[in-house]
Amino acid sequence: MEDKINLLIRKFKLGSEAAFNDIYNLYFKKTYDFFYYRTFNVQAAEDLTSEAFTRFIQYADTFDEMAGTFDCWLYALKKNLLINHFRKEGKYSYAELQDIGEDCTGTVGTTVKEKRTESENNLEHLEKQGQWEDIMQLINSLPDEKKEILVMRIWEGLSYKEIARILNKSEASCKMCFSRIIKELRENLGVLSMISLLCLMILMQFFGTKG
């Protein structure tokens, strides 16, 4: 996968529009989910997703495949956008506690309103039954690192290897932490809410969550 992404980025740097379209399609869902499951605001997630891809276009030349993976590079870019968003809103996020390097500057690009992620559609039945609010309240009460691992694992579909790289931890510790999170949620959620969360996890795994 890394070789494929690096090849696409090289082609994009040479001016290939097709390469950008491939990168967009590969990373749209992961990028949108990153923002949605940290802001829980559709409009904010759409705007931030557009801006993330705009900044990718502007700063793609700064990516060095020999220095690290594109996923980690893009993750840092998204984190900076999220920090700026919370600052503009007068809010503070656990994202601000992490040093992820210099910020980029840019403008919002094209809208993403027409394109919805599968995960957002799959949550409709939870919201209708009033279960989603209970689940998210509990998730938001988790310590920052646990919350980060849960979101990256379930909604962003990152492998334990990718999570370990981003958090600078071992794969084993990430797996253990995720297992403990699920146990904690199981102990605190009602039966129906836990079943709904587990069904969502299985569904996300079906759509490509990696081990």
- Give the pLDDT confidence of 116-136 residue by residue, as tens digits: 444 444 445 445 445 556 666
Structure confidence at residue 146 (pLDDT): 86
Distance CA(47)–CA(109), nearest Å, equals: 8
* pLDDT one-digit tens code per residue, 136-168: 677 777 887 888 888 888 777 778 888 888 888
**Beta-carbon-side half-sphere exposure of residue 93 (alpha carbons within 13 Å):** 21
Cβ–Cβ < 8 Å for 21, 12:
no
CATH architecture entry for 2-97 = Orthogonal Bundle (1.10)
Reported as a single tens digit per residue, the pLDDT across 53-102 is 999 999 999 999 998 889 889 988 998 898 888 888 775 544 443 433 33
Per domain, the residue ranges of the chain are 2-97, 118-206
Q: With CA atoms as reference, report the closest residue to 140 among 41, 43, 37.
A: 37
pTM, whole model, 2 decimals?
0.60
17, HSE (Cβ side, Cα atoms, 13 Å): 0
Summarised one tens digit per residue, pLDDT across range 162-211 is 888 888 899 999 999 988 888 887 777 665 455 555 555 544 444 344 45
Q: Answer whether 165's CB lies under 8 Å from 72's CB.
A: yes
- Write out pLDDT tens, residues 15-41: 999 999 999 999 998 899 888 878 878
CATH number assigned to the domain covering 118-206: 1.10.10
